[in-house]
């Protein structure tokens, strides 16, 4: 099936439902210069087997080209401040959960996480019980821990070349434009998305399709009714400030938003594996109150 057929399916021209979940023959959503933006619901209705990587948050998906993150591409997350790294990592875990949800029919589920010694010492090693509670099955994780950025990038590129994986995550301090382009090419070839956690402060040039900046945000008060109903007055949902700093092929939506900055306060609901907008939640709470 080629891209045009995929488009047909999405637009509803073809009534032949795509068979199987083979990611290699089913390209992900058309991207790049295609002047059409189907709504997420439309996509899922007409092509239920096509992998779609949405965030499931109303305001955010609309800002992405075709209403979803591109699967066969590189995405970059960086913390707003050095202390925000755990928030950025948490956001990555949430993205992975969404990704696995999108890929659930394709049979690919393993994640390669290329961890760096620095992050491990600073913020600790990935901890299975906690990851599980965030919604990511720890048994699907394959972790490599190395010291140097070059090794992380090497391992990521190897991982992106392996089409059996669901995704590859790498923690680096910095990566050159060439390195990110290599990763992007590998991802495009295999259809495995790469997520780069880039800790260096300023936005250096990068080939990533989307670039996010994530910071920590105070969680909503547990005493608000809606959340209490869901969390049993127990835990706070992780909440982050998320900013979509750059993205390729997203210009038409940007115009529509009138240059509004794409910055949200998002709350990760790990019981439902989706994001909430903090404002919506707060509004709901007010309404209930």
Partner 1 sequence: MKRIVFIWLKRWPLNSARLPSQAAQPFGLNVAGSHGLRLAAVSPAAEAAGITVGMSLADARAICPDLKSQPLEPEKSLKALRQLARWAGRYTPWVNVHHIAPSATGEGAEYGLQLDITGCAHLFAHSRGEDGEPAMLLDISERLEASGIEHAIGLGDTLGAAIAVARFAGPIHIIPHDPHGDETRRALSSLPVDSLRLDAKTCQTLCRLGLNSVGALLRLPRVALARRFPVSKDGRDMGGQDMGGAVLRRLDQAFGRIREPIEPIMPVPPLRARMNFAEPVVETDALVLALDGLVADLCRGLGRMNKKMRRMSLWLYRADGAVHRISAGIVAASRDEAHLLRLLSERVKQIDIQENSGDFGIELLILSADRVEEDTASQPTLVQAPASIDFDKEIARLMDRLKGRFHASAGDDYGAGRTPHSLTPQASHRPERAQLSLPVRTCAANDRWGASPGADRQTPIRPFRLLPRPERVQIPDNISADDQRGDGPPLRFLWRHQNVVIRRAEGPERISPEWWPDAQDDARRMDQEGGPSSRDLRDYYRLEAENGQRFWLYYSTPPKDEADVWPPKSNWYLHGIFA
Interface with partner 1 (CB under 8 A): 20-22, 83, 86-87, 89-91, 93-94, 97, 106-108, 110, 112, 120-121, 123-146, 151, 154-155, 158-159, 161-165, 215-219, 222, 231-232, 234-236, 238-239, 268, 270-271, 273
By beta-carbon proximity to partner 1, the closer residue of 82 and 256 is 82
C-beta atoms surrounding 25 within 10 Å: 12
Cβ nearer to partner 1, comparing 14 with 273:
273
The minimum distance between CB 62 and partner 1, in angstroms, equals 25
At residue 216, the 3 state secondary structure works out as strand
Q: What is the DSSP letter of 84?
A: G
Closest contact distance (angstroms) between CB of 173 and partner 1 is 17
Question: Which of 153, 122, 156, 130 has its CA nearest to residue 142?
Answer: 156
Beta carbon of residue 17, minimum distance to partner 1 (angstroms, whole number): 17
Query: What is d(CA 261, CA 283) in angstroms, rounded to the nearest whole number?
Result: 21
Angle between the 149-160 and 177-190 helix axes, to the nearest 10 degrees?
20
Q: What is the DSSP letter of 210?
A: E
Cα 235 to Cα 239: distance, rounded to the nearest angstrom? 12
**Contact indicator for 149, 173 with CB cutoff of 8 Å:** yes
Q: How far apart are CA 169 and CA 192, in angstroms?
A: 11
Q: How far is the CB of 27 from partner 1 (least distance, A)?
A: 16
Judged by beta carbon, residue 38 or residue 135, the one nearer partner 1 is 135
Q: How far is the CB of 127 from partner 1 (least distance, A)?
A: 4
Q: Least Å distance between CB 108 and partner 1?
A: 6
Q: Please give the structure tokens belonging to residue 132.
A: 């599980």
The closest of 215, 261, 219 to 241, measured between CA atoms, is 215
Minimum distance, C-beta of residue 202 to partner 1, in the bound complex (Å): 21
248 three-state secondary structure: coil
Taking the least distance from each CB to partner 1, the nearer of 29 and 156 is 156
Give 38 or 159: the residue with its C-beta nearer to partner 1.
159
Residue closer to partner 1 by CB (options 180, 190) is 190
Which residue, 141 or 204, is less far from partner 1 as judged by CB?
141
Indicate the SS3 state at residue 74: strand
């Amino acid at each position: 099936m080629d891209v045009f057929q995929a488009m047909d399916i999405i637009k509803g021209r073809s009534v032949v439902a795509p068979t199987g979940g083979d990611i290699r023959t089913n390209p992900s959503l058309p991207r790049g210069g295609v002047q059409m933006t189907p709504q997420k619901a439309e996509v899922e209705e007409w092509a239920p087997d096509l992998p779609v990587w949405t965030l499931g948050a109303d305001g955010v998906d609309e800002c992405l080209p075709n209403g979803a993150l591109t699967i066969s591409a590189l995405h970059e997350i960086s913390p707003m401040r050095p202390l925000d790294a755990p928030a950025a990592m948490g956001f990555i875990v949430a993205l992975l959960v969404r990704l696995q949800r999108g890929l659930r029919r394709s049979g690919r589920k393993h994640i390669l996480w290329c961890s760096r010694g620095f992050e491990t010492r600073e913020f600790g090693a990935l901890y299975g019980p906690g990851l599980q509670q965030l919604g990511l099955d720890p048994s699907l994780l394959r972790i490599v821990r190395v010291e140097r950025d070059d090794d992380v990038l090497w391992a990521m590129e190897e991982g992106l070349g392996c089409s059996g994986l669901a995704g590859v995550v790498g923690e680096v301090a910095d990566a050159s434009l060439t390195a990110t382009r290599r990763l992007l090419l590998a991802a495009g070839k295999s259809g495995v998305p790469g997520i780069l956690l880039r800790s260096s402060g300023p936005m250096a040039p990068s080939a990533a399709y989307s670039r996010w900046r994530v910071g920590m945000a105070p969680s909503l008060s547990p005493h608000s009714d809606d959340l209490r109903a869901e969390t049993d007055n127990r835990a706070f949902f992780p909440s982050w400030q998320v900013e979509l700093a750059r993205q390729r092929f997203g210009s038409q939506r940007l115009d529509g938003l009138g240059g509004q900055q794409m910055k949200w306060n998002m709350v990760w609901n790990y019981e439902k594996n989706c994001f909430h907008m903090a404002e919506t939640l707060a509004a709901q709470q007010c309404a209930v109150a």
